[in-house]
Amino acid sequence: MSRRFQKSLAIILLLTVSLLAEAFFSGTWFHPHRLAVWVFDVGQGDAIFIDSPNKQILIDGGPNDAILEKLASVLPPWDRTLDVVLATHPHADHVLGLDAVLENYRVGEVVDDGLIYNSSASIGFENLGGNTATVASRNLTWDLGDGGVLKVIWPASPLAGAFTDDANDGSIVALLTYGQTTMLLTGDAGIAQEELYASGLPHIDVLKVGHHGSDTSSGPNLLTTITPNFALISVGVDNSYGHPSRIVLDRLAQAGAQVFRTDTDGDIRVLSDGGEPTVTNFPR
């Protein structure tokens, strides 16, 4: 056996092992009827990837281009397509990473809340795709396949062209349903908004905790209504905001939720075959 052949064989084996490891990590490659939702560890920001039988949806992109490495870790190397990219609101810790995504992936639909917010991060996102974005409001829905849906429940009406002092107030909130699995994705919406959208919500298996665990979100009324089994907090290590708030952690404990945090637990994966979901963390 020649040395060149041995080297080629070693490379093929290495690539095969690498692909198999990535397939196991993703949780969905060989399971066409399985849903995976990733809350990526991107520092002080949000980046959530929904990998469903019918759609690949990215909600927010974090504060920098680290999202590209995160997507590459769960998608096949030949897959450079996203069906939907959704910016919950135009703050830098949610949209800066989307610039890199829009430059490196083919995106079927861009969605935002329509707010006018004059910042360099917001302007960059608008120039790359936000100017032609679908403006989200209540009941905008995507078919995830196998009966699963992702449905916007806030804002109640379109905010296209509206100005605001606090962009968190217009943050997109969405309810994901896949068989018996329910997940509430809250962006940075505050308690005042929770009081308006919480009524009528079902029991929620997995809550993406609002505003990185700030005490301006995840109010007692919402938690009493949805009684989450799991609470996922996207937050940066030793961040200057003091997130997550001890007040919110106490509220979640009182609600009986098991808490996962990206600053201590790394990437977090929610996996569902349509029954009760499992939540797994992948430390750095």
Q: Where are the chain's structural domains? A: 1-30, 31-282
- Average pLDDT of span 25-42: 82
Q: What percent of the chain has pLDDT over 70?
A: 89
Give the mean model confidence (pLDDT) for residues 10-14.
48
Q: Is the model's pLDDT at 157 over the cut of 80?
A: yes
The answer on pLDDT for 261 being more than 80 is yes
Q: Which CATH number fits domain 31-282: 1.10.20.60, 1.10.10.10, 3.40.50.2300, 3.60.15.10?
A: 3.60.15.10
Q: What is the pLDDT of residue 29?
A: 59
Quote the pTM value.
Answer: 0.89
Residue type at 28? Answer: T
**Given a cut of 70, is residue 223 above it in pLDDT?**
yes
Q: Is the pLDDT of residue 24 over 60?
A: no
Residue 132: per-residue pLDDT:
75
Residues 6+ apart with CB under 8 A from 60: 45, 46, 47, 48, 86, 87, 88, 94, 95, 97, 98, 187
Q: How wide is the angle at C-alpha 209 spanned by C-alphas 206 and 210, nearest 5°?
A: 140
Average pLDDT, the chain: 90
In this structure, are residues 184 and 229 in contact, taking their beta carbons and an 8 Å threshold? no
Alpha-carbon Rg for the chain, nearest whole angstrom, is: 19
pLDDT digits (tens, 9 = 90+) for 195-214: 999 999 999 999 999 999 99
pLDDT at 14: 43
Q: Is pLDDT at 5 greater than 50 in this prediction? A: no
